[in-house]
Structure 1
Amino acid sequence: MDMPKASDADKEYFRSVLPDHPEVVIRPMFGNLGAFVNGNMFAGLFGPTIGVKLSAADKELLDSTERTVPFGPAERPMGGYTGLPEVWNGEGEGDGDKARARAWVEKAFEHVAGLPPKTPKAPKAPKAKAAKK
């Protein structure tokens, strides 16, 4: 599975389109970045592509009006996430593209912030060793 790494410029652009909310947590993920609220990822970076988790209605609107792309490895894109148009990745029409990317990332934040917080998984209990005869 091909796992592209985001460049420093990609990471900087990703951070620049994230909402300025204290609840936003950015974490590294396999050489890329993920943006989380309440433990749930609302936006991610995969190489130069920004993926967002939107409500069904917003996803349908974005997919029907823009040239979205799959988000994640080509062999196994991440379900529930939509890749923003690649022309918006910082090399497009400047501030207009950045504003559009920022608006969709904000919609993703609002959608995911309304979901139940992710609860940490309980640690697995150690397996009991089989008794020797």
Structure 2
Amino acid sequence: MQQYKTVKSKLEESLRNARDTKFKCEVLFPCGTTSKIAQDVLRMSSQEPYGLRGCVLYVNLEEKNVCRKVACVEMDPTTVATFELYLTLKEDTRGWCMLEKIYLTLKGCFKNSKWKSMPKILCSGFILEKKKLYRTNH
């Protein structure tokens, strides 16, 4: 349970930092998305030599078919990385999302929000890929 909380909090912190430094707008996730990601990260690290401690998580965002790196999370900076996970989040491009973005932007203007551009609304789906940094003798 402690590892789950660690993964979830590190992921959420990195996404907050990306929101403030790279996006400069509000980023909205469907409820439970970071929890699902944290569970998958734990599952994928369970068979690794150093477990979760050997994980480096790269977070990417796909917008309009362009993917860009937005964050890097070292689960334990004092441990040599034995594998990398690549998380790809996607912006929701369905029609109703544009209306939601316009509404949130206008609402932010009236409330004197610190964000100056339209919010990003992300899909609940994501891709999590694993790359091992060592060879097995099998």
Q: Does the TM-score normalized on the shorter chain lie above 0.5?
A: no
What TM-score results when the alignment is normalised by the length of structure 1? 0.28
Q: Which has the higher strand share?
A: 2
Q: Which has the higher helix share?
A: 2
Q: Which has the larger radius of gyration?
A: 1
